[in-house]
Amino acid sequence: MMQKGSPVRTSDLLASLGWLKHAFLPAGVLPPEETACGHQRHSATVVMSEAAFPRKQCEADGVIAIDSRPVAVYTADCLPVLIADTRRHHVAAVHAGLKGTLAGVLQQAVAKLLDFGATPQSLVVAIGPAIAPCCYELGEDMLGKIAGNPLVSAPRWFSAQPHNERAVRPQAQATQHGIWFDLPDLARQMLLAMGIPAAQIDVLPVCTYCSAEPQSSYRRNSHVSDGYALRYSWIQRRE
């Protein structure tokens, strides 16, 4: 259930495009009823909106619409990535956790949009609330696998836990003497490597663990058992 006062967040970049609507919804709030959304498996599978409506009838971690149907993904700590093509007015919603990001879900979504007439320079991308390096601890052994991805030049991580000045509840406590990893920046690096201009990539500075509304984080719930609810992010071309 949505907490009183929980914000609906938007991207300034996407909001500047007059031909679409979008939202990063608070935990527990459903997207519009007619929204297409896949049954997510941390895969690189991206489908068209007609294959993902009614919601969750096919397995997919990205959905593209070339019409006016809204498309969405649901997340808890993973990256919700909304993409708009200013050339053809097509949109996409992508669920990009670490596993799916490394598997290539962002590349698949961008490639399909290019097939439909986009160019890297016509794409505008917003990365919504997700777990941030202030709270995302990984085992150091993961760095080799991440750094081996051809689209990643220098994965961003910290040996000491960063302080999040926006935190409204305690940050995650270290549990494995690992590293603190920047998942949003991993996606940003990949998008840059695909030719999308830096000025057209927006990263919302909201950590689901420590600075989003209550019950936003699966990982936090696994640590302190205060519950979590899925967070939907959706995008739609206006009629």
- Which range of residues forms the domain containing residue 232? 12-131+187-237
User: How large is the angle between the packed helices 105-115 and 183-193, nearest 10 degrees?
Assistant: 30
Judge whether 153 lies within some domain: no
CA 176/CA 137 separation, integer angstroms? 8
Judge whether 139 lies within some domain: no
Judge whether 22 lies within some domain: yes
Judge whether 112 lies within some domain: yes
Token pair 């663990």 is found at 209
CA 34 centroid distance within chain:
21
Percent of the chain with pLDDT over 90: 94
pLDDT at 5: 62
DSSP code string of 9-58: B--HHHHT-TTEEEEEPPTT----TT-B--B--SS--EEEGGGG-STTSS
Judge whether 156 lies within some domain: no
Judge whether 137 lies within some domain: no
User: Are 181 and 133 spatial neighbours (Cβ–Cβ below 8 Å)?
Assistant: yes
pLDDT at 153: 87
pLDDT at 1: 40
CATH number at residue 93: 3.60.140.10
pLDDT at 201: 98
Judge whether 144 lies within some domain: no
pLDDT at 71: 98
Per-residue pLDDT of the chain (239 residues; tens, 9 = 90+): 444 568 999 999 999 999 999 999 999 999 999 999 999 999 999 999 999 999 999 999 999 999 999 999 999 999 999 999 999 999 999 999 999 999 999 999 999 999 999 999 999 999 999 999 999 999 999 999 999 999 998 999 999 999 999 999 999 999 988 999 999 999 999 999 999 999 999 999 999 999 999 999 999 999 999 999 999 999 999 98
Looking at the DSSP assignment, which residues form a beta bridge with residue 75? 231
Q: Running DSSP on this structure, what letter comes out for residue 229?
A: -
Judge whether 167 lies within some domain: no
pLDDT digits (tens, 9 = 90+) for 125-176: 999 999 999 999 999 999 999 999 999 989 999 999 999 999 999 999 999 8
pLDDT at 229: 96
Name the 3-class secondary structure at 208: coil
pLDDT at 2: 44
Total number of domains constituting the chain: 1
